[in-house]
Structure 1
């Protein structure tokens, strides 16, 4: 159990921090939060894991951002223009932007950051395929030149979640995208500064208000607008036990739990000192991800058989339990969105073990074990793998479930070793719904072989349709393309969506200003 005691040394340190802001120690404000996972990796481009994305939003800014209404707005950009032939996009940065080390943000920094992000991100890869080059027009103006008109430029640069096109200094952004950046290269452009000297993996991560950051003048909205840090210090406390989290929140030892256990929400709702806040009303989607490099999931017919074997409700009952916080939804692009549809999915996700067993026989499944990775330290993920194992075994699969903490899983899923030599066959995760509302944004639909995310699916027809979607600007035609892609995906799935779910944040009542956004952000928040 983590002990929340302040030693004399800690008090002296707090006084020193307060002094940085020209105020007495008693006035320094600190928010202590328990996030959904510990932080062991600092690079939000190297991995799509949401805890690294959350870290990224604390210390880095973006050129564009999505507001509460899912509209893309300028963030670090002051103005932009598009040439009459729609092939050249020119962007000018806001005045006064500097890195946390005091150096100015430049066009070269932004170009390098876009390139590194685009090498890893699904939307970025698709956009880069249409780009002929970049030009640093001036220290604060740069242009992107396209081979052909491209329909998702701002949507790509302003995408809300993993991977996020965070702007980093050129030295940092020049790091190979498949290599993690170094601790000393975490030099931010955002509202907080990472205190590397106070980072203790497994215990605590600390951020200080970035006094050099220049917020936009507009009110904060979603991930856009003025990112005004209204507290001096934010601490992320590592506390994996959910009961301990609840006790610490009730006792005022922490101020926030990002992902409180769903089964404990009724207890929190009755506490007059605690409030539940729905920061992400569009919710989240669970996903089962295949590794297509090795047997058995190198065979699309076997992957399709899993989709026939699965039924969503067992997954949702085992993890969430309360129907108030989940929704059975076959639509891969999320129920309640313009592309949310179950077209072509009548025969899948019905938990039809008998039919799946027939399909496995037809596909020539030879009993190769499925190495299924289970995350054990995140309550919203832990029970997914056992359900997947049971439903697959009912259909005739041999399943070997291997348990590990989430950060270990994140590291292992990047490896291309065979499943019987330290690799993997499948795992389950969750996406913020705002990440997956179209087939270019949704990373697990990327089927570009080695350029795809971990799992590395290869499907020329899916890629052809994703290309067509990215270049189409008519919403009606976009939907037609998305539905054609969805039907192909059912035949040769890259992953399987296993239901939508919703997660309120738990806060002490003296915490105000948390924004409605698909990412938990700490600017605009105050502590009374």
Structure 2
């Protein structure tokens, strides 16, 4: 799962024509400015391939770039690539890099850097592994060119190269990309709009970034992760403030300029506050989820999983955890309601639960009173109400339920255990994800059907894996939509996981310094306006 340290909030492909980008001089929206920012967790790991932590993702978008990037419509657009050409059979793709691209150490970006970066990323990332399984070779015949030779069609090639969530295919120098994927890199060198200041980094305490003078933004207007990226400040100072109330006070007092995650109970304090803007990242930016343990009783029985699903009600969860109905949305889409493939097919938990049906399903399953252990984090208030809601619903249909409470670090260790509950195992694990992580069947870990080698809960569904493979190979958008709906239906038939509702994550900032920030589901400190 993802890093959720202070979340309320933890917190596509269309074939495109060849587009050439004109290079424009580097500029900033606010000259000679320093911005102090607070993210939702302390920054310790700097490697965006080694970890999938949200804090590392935020750090990485300041520093690195990808070959392609998703625009606000969720479509891949060229980023580091100036032009590309596909063979008629779509088995060969030739990428030409933009002229003048430089890394922060002053060296030029070359095709060899790209090849090395993609290979390291694909060793770690599930989408990258699927891409490489369909690839015969990736090579760089000259410094400006990369050729991807496929063994078979891979309809999500450009989508994979634009993957926005971690591990992401960020490009770094070959000498750094040669680091084994099992080892986190410590030298941060990218080609993005900001340069990481290594001398100022104190893990878990602070980090600094300065505008990269040799950065060459694209000419197009910024659109989410794509388009022109004009640094919005000359210097960014990241400071760690673990307490949300302290961070809000610092923002109101002008001591910091940006707070990534504002809990709903603190939002009233910012209403009418001078020099403070409060804004959502979008609608349905995050989702609560439930995983049942397929390896151990009682949820190794699909009929018990169906009975539990029938007893659940999203409104109960959202009222308990979020409270304000203006901030949450009922959503049964397994890919999140922010996904272009969103569907409500098969979802029952968005409606009033049929407890009589749930009891009947449980009786039909032959449930023998096996204990259900729900993991509950005591030090993560943003998830704290979920366990009790689940326990109440399952007890009502006659299940033997026990909530086991522990701190978040212990829970993360515990949830990887495959043992029976009597030996320290578990039955139900609930958490939250950014919608960005759920929007595709390939990136959504909850749809992993590989069994014991897959994501926690260890769901085994050969049908789901077959459909995910078809989705990866398909390039037709309408056909991909139909595959996504089939995956949605299958999820609710087999109950791989349960979406517990969506909510909107809010940021707060000083508009005098940060007005014009590009809108996206994550904080991006650039503007598309000169």
The interval holding the TM-score normalised by the smaller chain is: 0.7 to 0.9
Secondary structure at the residue paired with 1:231?
coil
1:203 and 2:205 correspond: yes
Does the Cα contact within 8 Å between 2:448 and 2:465 map onto a contact in 1?
yes
1:96 and 2:96 correspond: no
Secondary structure at the residue paired with 1:510?
helix
Partner of 1:259: 261
What CA distance in whole angstroms lies between the structure 1 residues aligned with 2:495 and 2:326?
29
What CA distance in whole angstroms lies between the structure 1 residues aligned with 2:410 and 2:116?
29
| Cα displacement (A) at 1:291 | 5.0
Partner of 2:3: none
1:367 and 2:370 correspond: yes
What CA distance in whole angstroms lies between the structure 2 residues aligned with 1:242 and 1:312?
26
The count of residues paired between Structure 1 and Structure 2 equals 496
Instruction: Provide the alpha-carbon RMSD of the alignment.
Output: 3.1
Does the Cα contact within 8 Å between 1:307 and 1:348 map onto a contact in 2?
no
What CA distance in whole angstroms lies between the structure 2 residues aligned with 1:167 and 1:338?
27
Unpaired runs of 5+ residues, structure 2, are 1-30
Partner of 2:170: 166
Partner of 1:146: 150
**1:17-28 equivalence runs, <5 A:** 28=32
What CA distance in whole angstroms lies between the structure 1 residues aligned with 2:441 and 2:372?
30
What CA distance in whole angstroms lies between the structure 2 residues aligned with 1:310 and 1:434?
24
What CA distance in whole angstroms lies between the structure 1 residues aligned with 2:116 and 2:175?
9
- After alignment, is 130-139 or 112-121 more displaced? 112-121
Does the Cα contact within 8 Å between 1:373 and 1:424 map onto a contact in 2?
no
| Cα displacement (A) at 1:309 | 3.2
Partner of 1:11: none
1:404 and 2:407 correspond: yes
What CA distance in whole angstroms lies between the structure 1 residues aligned with 2:416 and 2:189?
25
What CA distance in whole angstroms lies between the structure 2 residues aligned with 1:43 and 1:353?
47
Distance 1:349 1:301, change over 3 A: farther
Secondary structure at the residue paired with 1:398?
strand
Distance 1:76 1:515, change over 3 A: same
Partner of 1:500: 502
Does the Cα contact within 8 Å between 1:161 and 1:519 map onto a contact in 2?
no
| Cα displacement (A) at 1:40 | 2.8
What CA distance in whole angstroms lies between the structure 1 residues aligned with 2:378 and 2:343?
30
Partner of 1:5: none
What CA distance in whole angstroms lies between the structure 1 residues aligned with 2:416 and 2:234?
36
Partner of 1:30: 34
| Cα displacement (A) at 1:285 | 2.0
1:181 and 2:184 correspond: yes
| Cα displacement (A) at 1:505 | 1.2
Secondary structure at the residue paired with 1:73?
strand
Secondary structure at the residue paired with 2:231?
coil
TM-score by length of 1: 0.84
**1:188-267 equivalence runs, <5 A:** 188-267=190-269
Secondary structure at the residue paired with 1:52?
helix
Partner residue of 1:62 out of 66, 80, 83: 66
| Cα displacement (A) at 1:496 | 1.6
| Cα displacement (A) at 1:29 | 2.3
1:519 and 2:518 correspond: no
What CA deviation, in whole Å up to 9, does each residue of 1:188-241 have, x standing for no partner?
Answer: 232223334433344323222233433223232211122222322222222222
TM-score by length of 2: 0.83
Secondary structure at the residue paired with 2:52?
coil
Unpaired runs of 5+ residues, structure 1, are 1-26
Does the Cα contact within 8 Å between 1:116 and 1:174 map onto a contact in 2?
yes
Does the Cα contact within 8 Å between 2:313 and 2:349 map onto a contact in 1?
no
Partner of 1:107: 111
| Cα displacement (A) at 1:75 | 0.8
Distance 1:86 1:271, change over 3 A: same
Partner of 1:446: 448
Secondary structure at the residue paired with 2:489?
helix
Partner residue of 1:272 out of 274, 288, 304: 274
Does the Cα contact within 8 Å between 1:308 and 1:349 map onto a contact in 2?
no
Does the Cα contact within 8 Å between 1:371 and 1:419 map onto a contact in 2?
no
What CA distance in whole angstroms lies between the structure 1 residues aligned with 2:57 and 2:384?
21
What CA deviation, in whole Å up to 9, does each residue of 1:364-400 have, x standing for no partner?
Answer: 56635535152734x5434334433444444514334
1:76 and 2:110 correspond: no
- After alignment, is 92-101 or 252-261 more displaced? 92-101
Partner of 1:342: 344
What CA deviation, in whole Å up to 9, does each residue of 1:132-152 have, x standing for no partner?
Answer: 222222223112222222221
What CA distance in whole angstroms lies between the structure 1 residues aligned with 2:323 and 2:183?
37
What CA deviation, in whole Å up to 9, does each residue of 1:6-37 have, x standing for no partner?
Answer: xxxxxxxxxxxxxxxxxxxxx85221122122
Partner residue of 2:385 out of 378, 383, 386: 383
What CA deviation, in whole Å up to 9, does each residue of 1:145-193 have, x standing for no partner?
Answer: 222222211112112223322122334334443x24132x322232223
Does the Cα contact within 8 Å between 1:206 and 1:233 map onto a contact in 2?
yes
| Cα displacement (A) at 1:322 | 1.0
| Cα displacement (A) at 1:123 | 2.8
What CA distance in whole angstroms lies between the structure 1 residues aligned with 2:112 and 2:427?
40
**1:423-438 equivalence runs, <5 A:** 426-438=428-440
What CA distance in whole angstroms lies between the structure 1 residues aligned with 2:424 and 2:121?
28
Distance 1:214 1:350, change over 3 A: same
What CA distance in whole angstroms lies between the structure 2 residues aligned with 1:206 and 1:411?
31
Distance 1:63 1:397, change over 3 A: farther
